Amino acid sequence: MSLNPPIRDWHGQRVWLVGASSGIGEAVAHALSARGAVLALSGRRAAALDAVAEAVGGAEVLPLDISEAGAVDAAWAALGERWGACDVVIFLAGAYRPTPAAELDAKVIRDTVSVNLSATMAGVAAVLPAMLARGRGYVAMVSSVAGYSGLPRACVYGATKAGLTHFAESLFLELRPRGVGVHVINPGFVDTRLTAGNDFTMPALITPAEAAEALVDGLARGEFETHFPKRFSRVLKLLRLLPYGLYFPLVRRLTGGGRA
C-alpha cells in the first residue's frame, strides 16, 4: 500500500535538492534530470553546484549554508519568484564525523546537530507554509540506518539521524492528510566524501548512483521510508528488535565495539 502519492512521472516536476554538490545529492540530480524533472540545487560550494548543474543540462543554483539562520527561507523565496511553486524538496545536507565516546567534542556535537537536525527541521519549516497553502507538495529527508539504534563511534551522528527520522514520522501523521507527502530515506554505507574517512571496511557499500536509484524507486512506490541496500538495512532493522541483553553483546561482536 502506498503511504504517499507515488511519483512515477517526473516530467516537469520542480524539485529542490538541498545538498546536491556531491555524493548522493549529485547522483539524485542526475537520476531526476534524466527523468525530466526541473531542478534547483543547493549546498555551500557554489562552483561544485555549477558543475553539477552543467552536467545535468541546466538547473537553478542557490548556494547556501543550511546552518545559517534564514538562508533556506531566502533561497525558498527566490525559488518561488523563479518557479511560482516547487513540487518536491529533498533535504540531503549532512555532516558526519566518527565520534568515539571518549573523544566527545562540543564543537562536533554543535555542528553535526545543527546541519543534520535543527537546520534541516528549520528548512522544512521554511517550505511547509507554501505547500500547505497549495494543499500539495512533498518533503523528503535523507536520514540514515545509523539512526535505528545505538552504534559505537556514532553517538552524535546516529542521534541526529534518529531524531530526523522521528521528526519525519511525526510530520507524516499530521501533513499527509493535508496533501503534503513526507518521505524519509535511510541509506546504509554509500561511497561518498562523507564516508571517505572511515577507517574500517564498510559492509554492503554501494555507489551514490545506486543510492539515488533506490531513493527514486522509493518515491515511485509512494513509500514513507526507503531503506537500502536491503541486505544491510534489514539486518539492522532486525537487530533493533532485540532486547538490550542480546543487542549490546551482538553489536559489540559485529563491530569490535568501535575499536579504531
Ligand X SMILES: NC(=O)c1ccc[n+]([C@@H]2O[C@H](COP(=O)([O-])OP(=O)(O)OC[C@H]3O[C@@H](n4cnc5c(N)ncnc54)[C@H](OP(=O)(O)O)[C@@H]3O)[C@@H](O)[C@H]2O)c1
Please answer whether residues 141 and 195 qualify as being in contact, where contact means their C-beta atoms are separated by less than 8 angstroms: no
How far separated are the first and last CA of the chain, in Å rounded? 43
Residue 1 or 196: the one with the smaller Cβ distance to ligand X is: 196
Distance CA 35, CA 184 (A): 21
Distance CA 229, CA 205 (A): 8
Contacts of 215 (CB under 8 A, 6+ apart): 24, 28, 31, 90, 140, 142, 185, 226
Kindly state the smallest distance separating residue 141's Cβ from ligand X, in Å.
8
The site map against ligand X for 118-157 (x = CB under 6 A) is: ------------------------x-x-------------
Scanning residues 160 to 179, which ones bind ligand X (CB under 6 A)? Answer: none
Distance CA 18, CA 31 (A): 15
Q: Does 192 bind ligand X (CB under 6 A)?
A: yes
Q: Which of 48, 78, 128, 242 binds ligand X (CB under 6 A)?
A: 48
Kindly state the smallest distance separating residue 127's Cβ from ligand X, in Å.
15
For the record, the C-alpha cell of 115 comes out as: 546541519
Q: Does 110 bind ligand X (CB under 6 A)?
A: no
Residue 13 or 22: the one with the smaller Cβ distance to ligand X is: 22
Q: Which of 28, 37, 95, 139 binds ligand X (CB under 6 A)?
A: 95
Kindly state the smallest distance separating residue 243's Cβ from ligand X, in Å.
26
For the record, the C-alpha cell of 194 comes out as: 562523507
Q: Which of 156, 184, 190, 236 binds ligand X (CB under 6 A)?
A: 190
Scanning residues 200 to 259, which ones bind ligand X (CB under 6 A)? Answer: none
The site map against ligand X for 5-24 (x = CB under 6 A) is: --------------xxxxxx
Cell 512521472 belongs to residue: 9
Q: What does the CA dihedral 111, 183, 217, 130 come to, rounded to 10 degrees?
A: -100
Q: Which of 8, 45, 231, 252 binds ligand X (CB under 6 A)?
A: 45
The residue range among 86-94, 172-180, 228-236, 248-256 that interacts with ligand X, by the rule CB under 6 A, is 86-94
Contacts of 72 (CB under 8 A, 6+ apart): 18, 64, 66, 119, 122, 123, 126, 127
The set of catalytic residues is 157
The residue range among 80-88, 176-184, 189-197, 226-234 that interacts with ligand X, by the rule CB under 6 A, is 189-197
Nearest to 142 by CA among 120, 126, 114: 120
Q: Which residues of this protein are in contact with ligand X, per CB under 6 A?
A: 19-25, 43-45, 48, 64-67, 92-96, 115, 142, 144, 187, 189-190, 192-195
